[in-house]
Amino acid sequence: MRHATEILDSKKHQHLHIINNRWSDACYQADNVNVVMSELQNLVHDYPIFIAKNPNTGQFQLRALLGLKGGVNLYVKDGQWRAHCFPLDILSRPFRLFMPESDNMETGAIAIDPGSALISENEGEPLFQADGSASARLQRINQIFSALVNGQQQSAEFLQRLHQLGLIEPVSINLTLKNLPNAAIDGLYGINEDKLSALPSEALIECHKNGDLYAVHLMLSSSVHIEKLARWYEEQESDL
Amino acid sequence: MGHTIAVIVIVGGGTAGWLTAGYLAAEHRERVAQGDLRIVLCESPNIPTVGVGEGTWPTMRSTLARLGISETQFMVRCNATFKQGSKFSGWRHNNSSEHCYYHPFAFAPGAEDGSLASYCALTNQWQGFSTLFGAQQSVCEAQLAPKNITHAEFDGALNYGYHLDVTAFGVLLSEHCQSVLGVEHIVADVQEVLQDECGAITALRLPDNQELKGDLFVDCTGFKSLLLGDALRVPFRSEAHYLFNDTALTTHVNYPAPDSEIDSCTHARATCHGWIWDIGLPHRRGVGHVFSSGYADVEQVATTLANHLGTDEAGLDFRKISFAPGRRDRIWQANCVAIGLSAGFVEPLEASALVMIELSAMALAEGLPRHTSQLPIIAKRFNAAFLYRWDRVIDFLKLHYALSERDDSQYWRDHRKTTSLPESLQELLTLWRYQAPRSSDFPMAREVFQSLSYQYVLSGLGYKPDLGREPTPDLIERAQHAIAHNQQVTNQLIHQLPGNRELINKIHRYGLSTI
Ligand SMILES: Cc1cc2nc3c(=O)[nH]c(=O)nc-3n(C[C@H](O)[C@H](O)[C@H](O)COP(=O)(O)OP(=O)(O)OC[C@H]3O[C@@H](n4cnc5c(N)ncnc54)[C@H](O)[C@@H]3O)c2cc1C
């Protein structure tokens, strides 16, 4: 269980500051994060992108793998983040979106865990300006959440189209690494390339026109990063 | 001599008729599409289906998958819930109604040979067998579902079947068989069965002097057994001397609140007259009291049922269903095979009717003769296989009564008289006085009830074998390992699995993915 969260309030939290780039914080310890379609173009340069099911709804979602083992983020090493671009999900932390009606994005409010080590009264960037309006930092957070929320729907529809074309299949990543429990990379889905190349031309043209094909190719290209994760994983194991 | 089989006529549009049509049409998809094989189902506009039968076995999952019906669609349209087995309360004695045991659907790996059950007998844990080696009883007690929303259709963390609204299921099957599988549908009363001089059926007479011709006929006419029984005169064989129950009083009741949890097992509670089933669907519970008209009258039973429900009898709308426990002497004769109630029926204690329909329909579809000259051989084999299965069903159901120590009525006392036990069951019980049930006790590869099911009932009812030895170190090690593993799996599942209602709500909302 995580700590209780509080909805962000310009009065109550007027003096809160947020500490940036402290990647060793617990909130960044995740072996995967949700991503949305609009991020693909950037993220595929650094992260392997797969499909997984939302544990609450069973619907397909895009995921970036950050590690190979429960809760371990291989992108964080010695307090540094080993990539140029960041998933929005990571940038949104330690904030969270509180949605009282799970299907109504309009009701969403930004929430914070008051116990987070990334909030402070004096260190870091302030969240509110003296007049109570949102600081530049908070405005960025707002933008990130709205990109995530809007992207979620678009991504779900994209994946549903791929599924209807039979392009999604369960994948097993076979790596022979010492001490790697296979369970960590269970439950992932990827693109079936045979089915993709066998798509009837009409479907292919449609996929090309609506941009799905481009996104699919981005995802396929991202699988090279698995090798990198494997290497990092082994380095980390031998450091221990 | 003879001719090829190109037209199969199924009479009856209950669950048996449509499942048979579905199996045949799905198995022979290409032939049906090419017009080389026609599957015609004829049902009466006037005679209603029996309208009960809300519990299935896990086999229903593969049946639906074979027919090409999506699990999401099935669950939504048939108001289905997950069934993970049966819970038997009050079967052992009448003095403590709290005593209960489970017959869960999950397999206990390594238990088929009886060794793990033996371990329980040797270590004074006989009645703990089902929880020591399986997680499902604990999952059912916690009212959890057998799977998560992320599981694909028909996949699960634990084995499961369904509870369903059988009328809605009939409608879904009928639509699917016609629109997807190419089954032809005729709504008409069969008035007469026309036969040739050898006794084979040639055609059915419908109103307005129409004739429905066919090469092979499937009798799914319910208790009537219009073709096999009435026309071909295959005698009915009563099993009432083993299984006394011949009547059910059924009703529907509401949940205390719309979001009350839904149990994920069938409840079977023994009473002095018989037993009460309690089956949870999302919007209501189906409840019924099964009893023998020779031992109790409807008024007595209605009172017992109302008491069980904690309501006033007057407020309940009972339906009485009478049936003759038994089966036909043969199930396949000439070019006619009976599937469903027309072949036979015994009380629904282990919900074995639908599974027998599925097994029969599968055997018919897979072994479908191409030529009439094959019929006698196929009939002989079919009869041997299914009469054997009927006998095993009777043995297994009777076991629940034979081992009971209830003595609150003549009904229960008579149930354990040696003269009321099939010989085959007496033999098994003699064997099991000194050993736990194991798969080699049964000759068939695909037994309806596996050795594990017998182990659950024997341990549940306290029929402990006298093994006369100490457990070997090897057995102790294997059993303890299995127990530790099961403990871990149980804890994990209790933690991970959603409530039964929660998952059903999600399925209605989001659906299950096909992969
Ligand atoms: C009390 C009770 C509880 C049960 N509980 C369970 C359970 O929990 N689980 C389980 O698996 N099973 C259960 N069953 C059994 C289950 O209900 C049946 O096996 C199943 O519904 C199949 O019925 P059927 O299709 O054989 O017959 P029916 O549903 O009776 O259908 C007969 C069909 O034949 C047609 N017909 C009849 N005469 C003619 C004619 N002359 N011309 C044309 N058509 C005709 C009718 O119109 C109808 O369509 C239960 C049964 C009873 C009685």
Sheet of B319-322, strand order? B100-104, B85-89, B266-271, B274-280, B285-291, B247-253, B319-322
Contact B369, B395 (CB under 8 A): no
Contact B256, B262 (CB under 8 A): no
Separation of alpha carbons B150 and B496, rounded Å = 11
Mean pLDDT for chain B overall: 96
Q: What is the pLDDT of residue B107?
A: 85
Would you tell me how many other CB atoms lie within 10 Å of the CB of residue B137?
A: 24
- Domain count within chain A: 1
Q: What is the pLDDT of residue A3?
A: 54
Burial class (CB in 10 A: 0-12, 13-18, 19+), B166: buried
- Kindly report the protein residue whose alpha carbon is nearest to atom 20 of ligand 1: B15
Separation of alpha carbons B317 and A216, rounded Å = 58
Chain A residue numbers touching B151 (CB-CB < 8 A): 58
Separation of alpha carbons A145 and A110, rounded Å = 8
Give the pairing of strands B7-11 and B216-219. parallel
- Kindly report the protein residue whose alpha carbon is nearest to atom 27 of ligand 1: B222
- Does the pLDDT at position A1 exceed 50? no
Q: What is the pLDDT of residue A138?
A: 93
* Cβ–Cβ gap B150/A55 under 8 Å: yes
Separation of alpha carbons B273 and A137, rounded Å = 74
- Does the pLDDT at position B397 exceed 70? yes
Q: What is the pLDDT of residue A181?
A: 59
Separation of alpha carbons A115 and B266, rounded Å = 46
> Residue length, chain A?
240
Q: What is the pLDDT of residue A180?
A: 64
**Tokens 């695909």, located at residue:** B446
Give the model's confidence band at B97: pLDDT under 50 very low, under 70 low, under 90 confident, else very high: low
Q: What is the pLDDT of residue B317?
A: 87
The radius of gyration computed from the CA coordinates of chain B, to the nearest angstrom, equals: 23
What mean pLDDT comes out for the span B359-384?
A: 97
Mean pLDDT for chain A overall: 89
Packing angle of the helix pair B352-366, B375-402 (nearest 10 deg): 160
Would you tell me how many other CB atoms lie within 10 Å of the CB of residue A166?
A: 14
* Cβ–Cβ gap B148/A58 under 8 Å: yes
Residue B409 phi, psi dihedral angles, 5° rounding: -165, 160
DSSP track, B312-376: -GGG---EEEE---EEES-SEETTEEE-STTTEE---TT-HHHHHHHHHHHHHHHT--SBGGGHH
Nearest CA to B460 among B227, B222, B175, B117?
Answer: B117
What mean pLDDT comes out for the span B479-495?
A: 97
- Does the pLDDT at position A104 exceed 70? no
Chain A residue numbers touching B515 (CB-CB < 8 A): 163, 168-170, 189
DSSP track, A78-140: TTEE-SSS--HHHHHTTEEEE-SSTT-GGG-EEEE-TT-TTEESSSSEESB-TTSPBPHHHHH
Q: Which of B140-149, B372-381, B390-399, B435-444 has the lowest mean pLDDT?
A: B435-444
Nearest CA to B351 among B134, B82, B58?
Answer: B58
What is residue B288's three-state secondary structure?
strand
**Tokens 């390594």, located at residue:** B110
Question: Is the minimum CB–CB distance between B506 and chain A shorter than 8 Å?
Answer: yes
Considering only the beta carbons, identify the residue of A57, A163, A169 that sits closest to B506: A57
Give the pairing of strands A188-191 and A168-171. antiparallel
Question: Is the minimum CB–CB distance between B434 and chain A shorter than 8 Å?
Answer: no
DSSP one-letter code for B470:
P
For residue B258, the Cα-to-chain-centroid distance in whole angstroms is 28
Nearest residue on chain A to B151, alpha-carbon basis: A58
Give the pairing of strands A32-35 and A168-171. unpaired
Separation of alpha carbons A228 and B447, rounded Å = 52
Q: What percent of chain B has pLDDT over 90?
A: 94
Would you tell me how many other CB atoms lie within 10 Å of the CB of residue B284?
A: 15
What mean pLDDT comes out for the span A211-235?
A: 93
**pLDDT tens readout for residues B14-67:** 999 999 999 999 999 999 999 999 999 999 999 999 999 899 999 999 999 999
- Does the pLDDT at position A182 exceed 60? no
What mean pLDDT comes out for the span A121-140?
A: 91
What is residue B47's three-state secondary structure?
coil
Question: Is the minimum CB–CB distance between B150 and chain A shorter than 8 Å?
Answer: yes
- Does the pLDDT at position A37 exceed 50? yes
Q: What is the pLDDT of residue B59?
A: 97
- Does the pLDDT at position B161 exceed 70? yes
Separation of alpha carbons B37 and B368, rounded Å = 11
Contact B211, B333 (CB under 8 A): no
Contact B161, B55 (CB under 8 A): yes
Host H or E run for residue B389:
helix B375-402
Give the predicted TM-score (pTM) of the model.
0.92
- Does the pLDDT at position B424 exceed 70? yes
Q: What is the CATH number of domain B7-54+165-238+328-392?
A: 3.50.50.60
Q: What percent of chain A has pLDDT over 90?
A: 68
Q: What is the pLDDT of residue A60?
A: 96
Side chain identity at residue B491, one-letter code: N
Q: What is the pLDDT of residue B421?
A: 97
User: Dihedral, CA atoms, A69, A73, A74, A76, nearest 10 degrees?
Assistant: -160
Sign (positive or negative) of CA dihedral B448, B450, B451, B452: negative
Half-sphere exposure of B412 (CA within 13 A, CB side): 19
Question: Is the minimum CB–CB distance between A53 and chain B shorter than 8 Å?
Answer: yes
With respect to residue A239, please indicate whether it lies within any of the assigned structural domains.
Answer: no
What mean pLDDT comes out for the span B279-288?
A: 96
Q: What is the pLDDT of residue A100?
A: 72
Per-domain residue ranges for chain B?
A: 7-54+165-238+328-392, 247-322
Q: What is the pLDDT of residue A183?
A: 44
Sheet of B201-206, strand order? B192-195, B201-206, B210-213
Which domain does A40 fall in, by range?
6-233
Q: What is the pLDDT of residue B337?
A: 98
**pLDDT tens readout for residues A61-100:** 999 999 988 889 999 999 999 999 999 999 999 999 887 7
Half-sphere exposure of B438 (CA within 13 A, CB side): 14
Side chain identity at residue B480, one-letter code: Q
What mean pLDDT comes out for the span B389-417?
A: 97
- Does the pLDDT at position B96 exceed 70? no
- Kindly report the protein residue whose alpha carbon is nearest to atom 7 of ligand 1: B53
Looking at ligand 1, which atom is closest to the CA of residue B189? 42
**pLDDT tens readout for residues B303-323:** 999 999 988 776 778 999 999
DSSP track, B61-121: HHHHHHHT--HHHHHHHTT-EEE-EEEEES-S-SS-TT-EEEEESS--TT-TTSHHHHHHH
Chain B residue numbers touching A168 (CB-CB < 8 A): 515
Nearest CA to B160 among B135, B134, B131, B136?
Answer: B136
What mean pLDDT comes out for the span A44-63?
A: 95
Sorted by sequence, the CB contacts under 8 Å of residue B188 that are 6+ apart come out as B42, B44, B45, B206, B207, B210, B212
* Cβ–Cβ gap A58/B511 under 8 Å: yes
**pLDDT tens readout for residues B235-250:** 999 999 999 999 999 9
